[in-house]
Structure 1
Amino acid sequence: MSASGDSIVAQLRTRASSLGFSTFGIAPANARPDLPQKLQSALQSGWHADMEWMEDTQDRRKSPQALWPEVKSVIMVGANYAPEENPLARLVDKSLANVSVYAQMRDYHDVIKGRLKDLAGLLARRTGAGVKVFVDTAPVMEKPLAEAAGLGWQGKHTVLLSRDAGSWLFLGAIFTSADLPASTPAQEKCGTCTKCLDICPTDAFPAPFRLDARKCLAYYSVEHKGQIPLEFRKPMGNRVFGCDDCLAVCPWNKFASATRDARLSARQTIRDAQLGDMLALNDSRFRAFFAQTPVKRLGSARFLRNCLVAAGNSEDRQHLPAIERLLSHESPLVRGMAVWALRQLAQAGEAEAQRARTYAAEPDPEVRAEWSH
């Protein structure tokens, strides 16, 4: 480890801290030769559900060198976004439209990427080396690389765990052609604990350290483009975007302090969003309410789909007028979930009356099928 290398790393570490990153580390680009096999195994098992982009990018995702042959070192940084309160408590109040912690704030891609570019610029100026920055927008396996860089370890829920931030870390990566001194890799410290596996409402973990998206509520509420499968609607509860259960229950969170980064703090309006208000959002109001957040990328139709599942689970008949209005929404995703929600809350006669008014004119076969579930 050269003195000049140590000096550059010290400058980078100091700058990273001033930019708001709570953790910093460096891994050799070839630190994880096991990644190609692990990725292939997961894809062959179908755990990626219908996220075809994971298969399409497999060749570039399997190693840093496959993405950029010139890379020698990978700088990994983490930003703490720990909430002020345990989000599990918000699942009890069925009047809430529960949004995952990471989406209650400004889109972390925008926040982290600007800071990464600053840090990468410092490295480029000091060394003349090539740099590329990534924030979950390219085929990079950030969590294993962060583990190799010493930021933390992948827990049994597959999320990176940190002694200082628990499960609440946003990750960013800088690939560089500079050969930098490596950090000490982190060791897994989950022990015999299985709280994250046990709490999953849909048994989405076929084994520790393995996640099957085909059973994951976060996947269905964020990535899935079709109707929520029938068997996952009741387990969704009032989750309208994402699921924090496995993250929030982790005992390591007790060491995490709530983030003091204003740009990574929850917007109170989103954290406390009422389900009734969310059901009333049209497309323009949806885009305004969730401006600059990850939720906006979902689109209003899929968001309403999720809110209607929550309404069906609410046991609150006050939502019936909004549900009935959405039976005529332009999107079949919304109409289908409105049928399901209506049938959960309405009395038999009320549901049959609505069916008589809408069924014959419904052109979508999936929506029509909802009347038979």
Structure 2
Amino acid sequence: MLKARPINLAETNIAGLGTDLEKKLRLHAGDTESAWTGAGTAPGIKVWRIEKFEVKDWPKSDYGKFFSGDSYIVLNTFKKPDGDKLYHDIHFWLGLETSQDEAGTAAYKTVELDDHLGTVPIQHREIQSSESPLFLSYFKQYSVQSGGIDSGFNHTSPETYRPRLLHIRSVAIPAVKNGRKPSTTLTVREVPLSHKSLNSGDVFVFDGGLELIQWNGSKASGSEKVKAAEFVRKVDDDRKGLAKVVVVEESDDSTAFWNAIGGKGPIASPEEGDAQTHAKADKVLFRLAHRLSDNTGELKFTEEARGKVLKSQLDSKDVFVFDSGLEVFVWVGSESAPEERKRAMQYALEYVKQHNRPLDIPVTRVVEGAVSATFDASFDA
């Protein structure tokens, strides 16, 4: 079973500073975190999973595989094309069924890793099913499955495999000027075992352990069908070729497929299946007008610009929230108080709550002088 208390999205930016959670973490980890040894010293991706307040290495063979009952930290270390200096993006990823303790631990440990790397990395909060393009760009294949550390996700054999329905989709990752090149990530997400999960624009796979049925929507692209077939072949290879593999089209009356997912029913259109997670809103820039005290105090934001937002409107003395419409950035000026860096993600959450933005929208903290091609590209000039 999954964990009994899934996360409260309204609290997923709080790093737990000064709380009982922080005391628990210090009790478990002591004054140093051994997981950070060597982290960020060379270009590449590093993934850790949170296990009972502790940071544990995630096997490289499983990079790109996540479980909805868990929380993870992902570190991307890179160099600019014209230099040798190392830069870092730190993402804490929260599954929708992770526990509040593990979500808080991931947020707290992200701040700790940020301190370890000099407090200049870019910090990102990622929520399952609403991941940023930057996060998805790290993986050629990205999958989210039900289960997690507390539910025993390891399956001993395909004969006893838990039946599941997988949504297979190619996601185009757009280019960013002076940054990310265009790419494609194959996403594999477990969805409810029902006809209500299907849509005509995508490919789905019923995985019954020794039976693999690829269902192609009538409007699915040829490249998506090919990539899904490659995924199915890899799953079959992992099971030593023991599985029976079947490919069916939406127009086929496949009794085996419909029985496997609980019965036949209406299929959603590609438009319904392709609905964007977050409707894009106007760009808006806010200045942090009143900071949270350690105990009390209401956080207020003063609007500086809307519609057209220029990077020159930022001021080194203050903290700003920049809502690009699809992502919320918190920018910390170089002359603002050091404590602002640690509390920046908390400010972002308060903005999201006060302005009725989607609670699972990607949230990113940027400090002045740090390199973030996505942040820079979001401005009008």
Give the TM-score band, short-chain normalised. Answer: under 0.3
What is the TM-score normalised by the length of structure 1? 0.23
Structure with a larger share of its residues in helix: 1
What is the TM-score normalised by the length of structure 2? 0.22
Structure with a larger share of its residues in strand: 2
